A = this chain, B = another copy of it.
Amino acid sequence: MSKLVIVGTVAFDAIETPFGKTEKILGGAATYIGLAASQFKVDGAIVSIVGGDFPKENLKMLKEKGMDISGLEIVEEGKTFFWSGKYHNDMNTRDTLITDLNVLSNFKPQVPENYKDAEVVMLGNLHPLVQLSVIEQMDAPKLIVLDTMNFWMDSALDDLKKVIAKVDVVTINDEEARQLSGEYSLVKAAQKIMQMGPDHVVIKKGEHGALLFGDDDVFFAPALPLREVFDPTGAGDTFAGGFTGYLSKTRDYSFSNMKNAVINGSVLASYCVEKFGPERLLDLSHKEMYYRLRQFKSLTQFEIKLT
């Protein structure tokens, strides 16, 4: 097992879906990433920032899940980042209602001394320069994974390109891959993004699954066909947490092991969307993980028979 550094938001979310709505609940990219990675009992550290209003029991829960939170700064006089959104009926699109940056607007991430030698770094969606400052604090990580979104392509593209040049894997959704590369074909988009620096690109297609691209390799993981998607919030971060958690645990960064990491990320994401927020991840058992891994296997397994 290697150490895993996770940087991203720890936040409050208020979510409305066709199935109901929540008050302020626990959210944030680093929360989902950490909870997903904790399935693999990794030695992970969350680097983030919250305000004095952040419940102590949430901090305790993250610690109990095995996450080091010495790099999770608490600004007692400040307020925690808050996001509120409403999903449309198709669950694939949403409107952001509120974004209160609060303490996040002055976030200067500090990687704990004893995690600077971590092998794996997961950069959750944040300003590219914040992501870059984390990379600069690390000794010599073997795998840096970056998640980002269109907001930074619109507002900080040059900075984003700087950080992309320094990472090993980019995870990005299909529309964002098209925007970043200027290519409609996802094959061409992935190739262009790899030309910017990374050896691998994961293109997330939501209910249509995820594609992993390497040098000459491509792998596809479907999304599990579900009867209901209750709340998609955090599914992409959960995927990223499962992906990096699995790789931290196994310490094998080959394409063939990344395929397993993609499947494990997809399994975790398929559970995440079954309840509001990160709730479903909190009590997820090893047995449930295995059950759905087998479902993914039977979903895609076939024999080649030539006739």
Asked if A90 contacts B184 (CB within 8 A), the reply is yes
Measured CB to CB, the closest approach of chain B to A186, in angstroms, equals: 6
Asked if B220 contacts A187 (CB within 8 A), the reply is no
27 cross-chain CB contacts under 8 A: A40-B307, A89-B184, A90-B184, A185-B228, A185-B229, A187-B225, A187-B226, A187-B227, A188-B227, A208-B208, A218-B299, A219-B299, A219-B300, A220-B222, A220-B225, A220-B300, A221-B302, A246-B307, A260-B302, A260-B305, A263-B302, A290-B306, A293-B304, A293-B306, A297-B304, A300-B301, A301-B301
Asked if A300 contacts B300 (CB within 8 A), the reply is yes
Write out the residue numbers on chain B whose beta carbons fall within 8 Å of the beta carbon of A286. Answer: 306
Residue of B nearest to A252 (CB): B305
Interface assignment of A209: CB less than 8 Å from any CB of chain B: yes
Interface assignment of A23: CB less than 8 Å from any CB of chain B: no
Residue of B nearest to A294 (CB): B304
How many Å lie between the Cα of A277 and that of B293 in the bound state?
40
Residue of B nearest to A299 (CB): B220
Asked if A208 contacts B211 (CB within 8 A), the reply is no
Asked if B307 contacts A250 (CB within 8 A), the reply is yes
Measured CB to CB, the closest approach of chain B to A256, in angstroms, equals: 8
* 0/1 string, A270-307, CB within 8 A of B gives 1: 00000000000000001001100110011111111111
Beyond A249-B307, A300-B300, A307-B246, whether A186 also contacts B225 by CB under 8 A is yes
Write out the residue numbers on chain B whose beta carbons fall within 8 Å of the beta carbon of A220. Answer: 222, 225, 299-300
Measured CB to CB, the closest approach of chain B to A39, in angstroms, equals: 9
Q: Which of A226, A290, A300 has the most chain B CB within a 10 Å cutoff?
A: A300
Of B185, B217, B303, which is within 8 A of A226 by CB? Answer: B185
Residue of B nearest to A211 (CB): B225
Write out the residue numbers on chain B whose beta carbons fall within 8 Å of the beta carbon of A226. Answer: 185, 187
Interface assignment of A86: CB less than 8 Å from any CB of chain B: no
Residue of B nearest to A217 (CB): B298
Write out the residue numbers on chain B whose beta carbons fall within 8 Å of the beta carbon of A263. Answer: 302, 304
Write out the residue numbers on chain B whose beta carbons fall within 8 Å of the beta carbon of A290. Answer: 304, 306
